[in-house]
Structure 1
C-alpha cells in the first residue's frame, strides 16, 4: 500500500471541518459508450454483486457489459436533462443548499461512489483545503450494504492511504430522522392536494437480493419503518398504502413485494388510481424518472389502471435541505459548538 504525500500545511491549517455528501453516480452521457465504464465500476463492486469473481466476472464481461449498456443508455436518454444527468444535477443543488445553510468556515463537497467527482477526488480536495475533521453523509436514508456500505468502503480506502489521517465521522442512515420524515410527508401531502389523492399510496424502494437481507442487512426493515412513520404523519391506515421494492437485477430471489408485480396486480384488486413515491432516493434519477414515472405508468395503465401519479423526490426541497443540515449539525456536535437547543 502506497501512502499519499501530504499537503504542506501546518497543524493548525489541517484542523478545519469538512462535510462530504455522497451519492451513487451516473454515466457522463446517455450513450452506450459512457454507460459501459459506469456499469463496470458499479457491477464490479463486491458490495453490489456478492458472488465469487470467478463466477460473476465471466457473466459481467461476457454478457452484461456487451449487452446492458445500450439498454441502460436508452433509459437514461428518456430522462436526461438539459443540465445533464438528473442525479448529478440534483446532488449539486443539494450541496449548494447545504453550503448556504451552514457556516462559511465549513467545507462542503459532494462525491459519487461510481463516477466523478469521485470520493478520492473530493477527499483530496478537502485535504488540500486543510480539512482534518470530516463528516461523511451518504445520501441514502435507509442503510444498505450495496449503497451506503459501498460509499463508506471507498472513504475508508482513502483513509488507509493517508499518511496523516483525518478524523472521520459517518452517518450510515437517517431513515427515521424527524426532519426527513416531515419533509417527505409534506411533499406527499402538498402533491396530493394539488393533483388529487389516489386509491392507494405506494412507497417504492430500491430492492436488494433476499440473501443480503438474510445475511444481516437491515435495509428492508428500515424501508418499512420509514413508510410507517410517513403514513402516520399523513394519517393513513395500513390499507391506504403499500411498501414495495423495485429495480431487480439477475435471476436470484429479491425482497418482496415487487413494485413491477404490483403495477400489474393492483388494478385487478380494485386500485384504479395510484400514487407512487420513492423515499429511498433523495434525488430523482433514472430509477425514479424512467423506471417509475414513465415505465411504471405504462405498466399500470396496461393492467387496467386509470390514474397514475408519480410524486417527485425531495431533490432541492427547502424543508429537506433544512433536515439534511440538521442531520449534519447533530453529527458535528463536539466539533462545532452547537447546543442541542440550537438544532430545534
Structure 2
C-alpha cells in the first residue's frame, strides 16, 4: 500500500551547550542530568545534590574541556550533525531537520520545522546505533512532550537502532582500514562504548548486547581474532558500578600484556564530541603511554563519512 503522505526526517542526537562557557554548560548539564532516563534517583534526593554540589563544581571544569575541542564553527557535535543533515537531505530528497534531546535545536523545534515544510509523517532517526534507555528511549520521551505542544501531531516512524546494519558495520570497518593505511596497524583494536550503570542493564537494558554484537560483526568484517580486538566502556560517573570492562583500567593493563601499539575507536558515537575528542583521544592516550604504551591511534567517528550517510539513507528509505 503506497504512502502518499509527505515524509521528512528528524535526525536526533544528544545535544551540546550553545557556548563553551560555564553558564551555558551549566544550563545544558542541568537539563541532561534532570532526565530520569539518565539519572533515576529520587528527585528530592537528587536535585539538591545536582544543584548544590555537582553543577557548581562540574560546569566550570567541563566548560574548559569544551573550550579545548571547540571550533570556529562551534561545537564539533553540532558542526558534524549539521553536515549530516545537509548531506542526508540530498540523498533522500526529502526535508531533513536536526533535533537534540537536550539543548538547541530542541526536538520540538525540529518537528515544527518539518511541519512548516508540509511534512505529514516524520521518520525519527536517533543517531545511537546501539539502543539504550538512557539515550534512545529519552528521545521517545522527548518527542511525546514535544507533540503535546503541537496542535496536529504528525504520523511518525521511530528507528530504534542500527547496531547490526551491514552498511554501518562496513562504514566502521572502512574507517579502521583507512587509519591502518595512513598510520599503520596497531597490535590491538579497542572499541570503547559509552558506559551506563550496570544496574540499568541488570534491569533489562539491552545496550551491552548491542555493543557486543557490533564488536563481533566488526571483528568479522576486519578478519580480527579475539586476541586482536576488544571492547570496553568509558565515561562512568558517580560511585556505583557501571558496565565493565572500564576503558581507562583496560588501557592501564594492555601494555603489560605486550600490546604496545593501540588503535581505539568509539562505535557508539555517530559524531565526534567531547567524549571522543577530549576523553578518548587525549586523556586515554596519556593513560596508555604512561603505563608503557608506545603508539596510540584514535580513529575518528564516522561523522559525515559517505558510507555513514548511505546507511542513514538506507534505514530511512526502508520506512
TM range (shorter): over 0.9
Whether 2:67 is the aligned partner of 1:77: answer yes
Whether 2:280 is the aligned partner of 1:292: answer yes
What corresponds to 1:134 in structure 2? 122
Deviates more, 1:124-133 or 1:272-281: 124-133
What value does the CA root-mean-square deviation take over the aligned residues?
Answer: 1.1
Please state whether the residue corresponding to 1:130 is helix, strand or coil.
coil
Please state whether the residue corresponding to 2:236 is helix, strand or coil.
coil
The CA deviation string for residues 276-326 of structure 1, in whole angstroms up to 9 with x for no partner, is 010000100000000000111111111111000000000111111111111
What corresponds to 2:255 in structure 1? 267
What corresponds to 2:191 in structure 1? 203
User: What pairs up with 1:3-152 in 2 under 5 angstroms?
Assistant: 15-103=5-93, 106-152=94-140
Q: CA deviation at 1:50?
A: 1.0
Equivalent residues of 1:198, 1:275 under 8 A apart: yes
Normalising by the residue count of structure 1, what TM-score does the alignment of the two structures yield?
0.90
C-alpha distance in 2, partners of 1:184/1:89? 20
C-alpha distance in 1, partners of 2:138/2:233? 20
C-alpha distance in 1, partners of 2:275/2:232? 14
What corresponds to 2:229 in structure 1? 241
Please state whether the residue corresponding to 2:249 is helix, strand or coil.
helix
What corresponds to 2:163 in structure 1? 175
C-alpha distance in 2, partners of 1:214/1:126? 38
Normalising by the residue count of structure 2, what TM-score does the alignment of the two structures yield?
0.97
Deviates more, 1:281-290 or 1:149-158: 149-158
The CA deviation string for residues 245-302 of structure 1, in whole angstroms up to 9 with x for no partner, is 0000111110000001111111122111110010000100000000000111111111
The CA deviation string for residues 178-225 of structure 1, in whole angstroms up to 9 with x for no partner, is 110111111111111211111110000000000110111000110010
Whether 2:202 is the aligned partner of 1:214: answer yes
Q: CA deviation at 1:166?
A: 1.1
Q: CA deviation at 1:164?
A: 2.4
C-alpha distance in 2, partners of 1:220/1:19? 28
In 2 relative to 1, CA 164–29 (structure 1 residues): closer, same or farther, beyond 3 Å? closer
Equivalent residues of 2:108, 2:147 under 8 A apart: no
Q: CA deviation at 1:131?
A: 1.4
Equivalent residues of 1:204, 1:245 under 8 A apart: yes
C-alpha distance in 1, partners of 2:121/2:316? 13
Consecutive unaligned residues in structure 1, runs of 5 or more: 1-13, 333-344
Q: CA deviation at 1:15?
A: 4.0
What corresponds to 1:324 in structure 2? 312
C-alpha distance in 1, partners of 2:114/2:277? 32
Deviates more, 1:114-123 or 1:155-164: 155-164
Counterpart pick for 1:188 among 172, 176, 194: 176
Deviates more, 1:125-134 or 1:314-323: 125-134
Please state whether the residue corresponding to 1:146 is helix, strand or coil.
coil
Deviates more, 1:153-162 or 1:313-322: 153-162
Equivalent residues of 1:15, 1:130 under 8 A apart: no
Please state whether the residue corresponding to 2:293 is helix, strand or coil.
coil
Whose radius of gyration is greater, 1 or 2? 1
The CA deviation string for residues 25-80 of structure 1, in whole angstroms up to 9 with x for no partner, is 11111111211000000000000001110111111011111100011111111111
C-alpha distance in 1, partners of 2:314/2:236? 33
Count of matched residue positions in the alignment of Structure 1 and Structure 2: 316
C-alpha distance in 1, partners of 2:83/2:153? 29
Equivalent residues of 2:128, 2:268 under 8 A apart: yes
